[in-house]
Amino acid sequence: MTRAIAHVDMDAFYASIEQRDRPALAGRPVIVGADPRGRGVVSAASYEARAYGVRSAMPIGRAARLCPQAAFLPVDMAKYRAVSLEIMAILADFSPLVEPVSVDEAFIDLTGTEPLFGSPLDAVRLIKQRIRRDTELTASAGLAPNKFLAKVASDLEKPDGLVVVPPGGEAAFLAPLPVERLWGVGRVMGRELRELGVTTVGQLQRMPRAVLVRRFGRHGEDLYALAVGRDDRPVEPFEDPKSMGAEETYGTDCRDPERLRATLRGQAERVAAELRDGGFAAARVTLKLRYGDFETLTRSVTGEPTQDGLELYRRALALLERLGVSRPVRLIGLAASHLGPPGRSQLGLFDADVARRERLAAALDRLAARFGDGTVVPAALLSRRARRG
């Protein structure tokens, strides 16, 4: 049976929610993200703001220069997650196979749902109508025989678009698109393909597979499969997160080692709380540093799985000290990955302090759930706050 996979992608999600909830912003450029007087980044931009060249992940200062008349709003993640749950519930009414990719997009497998909703195309139209009716927001969608093609299709006619890739038309659909549309083709790979005279997917389709494998190894095989529209991955409804992390961009480049350490400690505690809330432990800790000249470095270490904030901090701090920071820092971040269920670590057998801290952390989580975040914080962070006050 030919599969029918849809990719549903909300249009300018954060900004559209703000325009919906604040009627005075309808039709105006809206930028959601950091304070425009600071040095953070854009989280989302309405289509009115995008007309001025504003894009997600752009430095907020540049966005303010490009579109000074925009309404600049802070990120309200709790509100966006609540709307996301509404949308995922709508999708679940059409199929049990829904795979959220982020808060604003998901794959849905509509194979075999014809007796309930008509053709897959009819089902996607109904999904878009339900989303508009129930949330007053628009979604773009792609419908195709696999996930890769559905994802590409959903991005081609935003906002409020619907693009269908019929079975048998996979290669023809992809042929005119730039080769950068293929997963895994970034700046470096794109440059290498251009050196081979390849700028479109159609040109890549005509290259002998053996040439791609010789040049790019196993990735060349994957590249060829995507170029002709092959992707056998199933829609997986309950995929666990691959990592959890926190970042902070300083208002002015940071030269204070104590402040870097304090920021890292706070991030470690937040990530640890998120791990415990999700029922995970992390074996790998990654430190991210971005200097004032935008050079970005990452360093990682792998150890016993943990969900203890102090243990995450100690590993990240060791990475920071190994780097020997000698330049002003613009951004610092900590990420925890290689996630698995808690309780598999051997640390508790040899380090009673770790086991005791993890029990204490669980108790603090219960206090935070009852009285709010920040009810109890590590003394190191409390003293830092007091000095700032």
In this prediction, residue 123 carries a pLDDT of: 97
In this prediction, residue 242 carries a pLDDT of: 81
In this prediction, residue 192 carries a pLDDT of: 87
Active-site annotation holder among 105, 170, 311, 358: 105
Pick the CATH number of 245-388 from 1.10.3720.10, 3.40.50.150, 3.30.1490.100, 3.20.20.140: 3.30.1490.100
- Find the angle CA(187)-CA(319)-CA(374) to the nearest 5 degrees: 100
Residue 181, both tokens: 């549309």
d(CA 289, CA 334): 9
In this prediction, residue 346 carries a pLDDT of: 44
In this prediction, residue 278 carries a pLDDT of: 82
3-state per-residue secondary structure call for 186-234: CHHHHHHHHHCCCCEHHHHHCCCHHHHHHHHCHHHHHHHHHHCCCCCCC
- pLDDT (tens, 9 = 90+) of the chain, 389 residues, equals 799 999 999 999 999 999 999 999 999 999 999 889 887 889 999 999 999 999 988 999 999 999 999 999 999 988 998 999 999 999 999 999 999 988 899 999 999 999 999 999 999 999 999 999 999 999 999 999 999 999 999 999 999 999 999 999 999 999 999 999 988 787 788 888 888 899 999 999 998 888 888 888 888 888 889 999 999 999 988 666 788 999 888 878 898 999 999 999 999 999 998 899 888 899 999 999 988 888 889 999 999 999 999 999 999 999 999 988 889 999 999 999 998 888 644 444 445 555 555 555 555 555 554 444 454 555 555 545 444 44
In this prediction, residue 348 carries a pLDDT of: 45
For 240, residues 6+ apart whose C-beta sits below 8 A from its C-beta are 280, 339
Q: What is the CATH number of domain 171-227?
A: 1.10.150.20
Q: What is the CATH number of domain 1-164?
A: 3.30.70.270
DSSP conformation class of 241 = P
Domain spans in the chain, listed from the N-terminal domain onward: 1-164, 171-227, 245-388
Q: How many Cβ atoms from other residues are within 10 Å of residue 200's Cβ?
A: 18
* Total count of residues recorded for the chain: 389
Bridge-based pairing state of the strands 71-73 and 30-33: parallel
What SS3 state is found at 283?
strand
In this prediction, residue 386 carries a pLDDT of: 45
In this prediction, residue 7 carries a pLDDT of: 98
At residue 343, φ and ψ (nearest 5 deg) are 95, -5
In this prediction, residue 132 carries a pLDDT of: 97
Q: Are 215 and 135 in contact (CB under 8 A)?
A: no
Is 105 among the catalytic positions? yes
d(CA 301, CA 216): 28
Amino acid letter, 11: D
